Amino acid sequence: MSETPPIGGHVMVAGGLATGGLAYAAGIGAEMIQVFVSNPRGWALTPGVPAEDARLRESGTPTFVHACYLVNLGSPNPDTLTKSVASVRHALTRAAAIGARGVVVHTGSAVSRSREEALLQVREHLLPLLDEIPDDGPDLLLEPMAGQGRMLCATVQDLGPYLAALDFHPRAGVCLDTCHAFAAGHDLAAPGGVRETFDALHAIAPGRLKLIHANDSKDPVGSNRDHHENIGAGHIGAEAFGEIMRHPVAAGVPLCVETPGKAVKHREDIELLKRLRAA
């Protein structure tokens, strides 16, 4: 019997990481949570509230932190690079304080430079951050994107050179977003599509899948558009998520919804995923 994956979602934390986050989690039936520890669309580095940190840590809730959306370690802009490094370091520090299992970071874009140049820069600045993570600290989870622009990682196969640039560091894990993967060309809705995608991930990054962002897609496969949809209401369809939970590579890996709508919709998505898990 494979390990049961906890199912949850990204939670609102108004009122405090623990006070707001755990209440939101209870309201949507979440067994795990993902949080922001600073403004996701700004560079300000928000300090924690020790009492909130302790309460969340002591709750035992499997927790993940999503780094700022602006982070791009492949950027040719020196200011963006400096702020990206500071933001990821802050997210890792805050994640350790709340007992989070991992910090999700977008893999970034080459923007106007070559992929090779960008990956060399990622190596130079991400390896020291990975080395700083304490033994009991969070993993850094690389999240491939939907393939728009000059993204450094979109397909599962793109993770190969990215991880190689990081010397396959033991603290470098993977967060797979189903909407991103579908948009990048992995047809999770087709017969055998889930198996093919997760088999490929295992071949490239065995044992590194630590989190799945469970999102349906408003757009067809290969669209390169990152438009999340509620589970079963998009082009991926509910059945694929059941297949994902039955694939051995995903055994025990938490699923986190980042779907449209507020608490009511998030609860519906989580309930549907729980039914698929039990099937």
Ordered domains of the chain (ranges, CATH): 7-278 (3.20.20.150)
Q: Which residues contact 180 (CB under 8 A, 6 or more apart)?
A: 143, 144, 145, 146, 147, 154, 213, 226
- 226 marked as part of a ligand binding site: yes
- 187 marked as part of a ligand binding site: no
- 258 marked as part of a ligand binding site: yes
Please give the backbone phi and psi of residue 177, each rounded to the nearest 5 degrees, phi first.
-95, 120
- pLDDT tens for the chain, 279 residues long, are 368 999 999 999 999 999 999 999 999 999 999 999 999 999 999 999 999 999 999 999 999 999 999 999 999 999 999 999 999 999 999 999 999 999 999 999 999 999 999 999 999 999 999 999 999 999 999 999 999 889 999 999 999 999 999 999 999 999 999 999 999 999 999 999 999 999 999 999 999 999 999 999 999 999 999 999 999 999 999 999 999 999 999 999 999 999 999 999 999 999 999 999 999
- 235 marked as part of a ligand binding site: no
Residues facing 35 on adjacent strands: 65
- 243 marked as part of a ligand binding site: no
Question: In sequence order, which ranges of the chain are alpha helices (DSSP H)?
Answer: 19-28, 50-59, 78-98, 115-132, 159-165, 178-183, 193-204, 238-246, 263-278
- 136 marked as part of a ligand binding site: no
- 177 marked as part of a ligand binding site: yes
- 239 marked as part of a ligand binding site: no
- 125 marked as part of a ligand binding site: no
Q: Is the dihedral of CA 165, 179, 22, 14 positive or negative?
A: positive
Q: Which residue has the tokens 């993204």?
A: 151
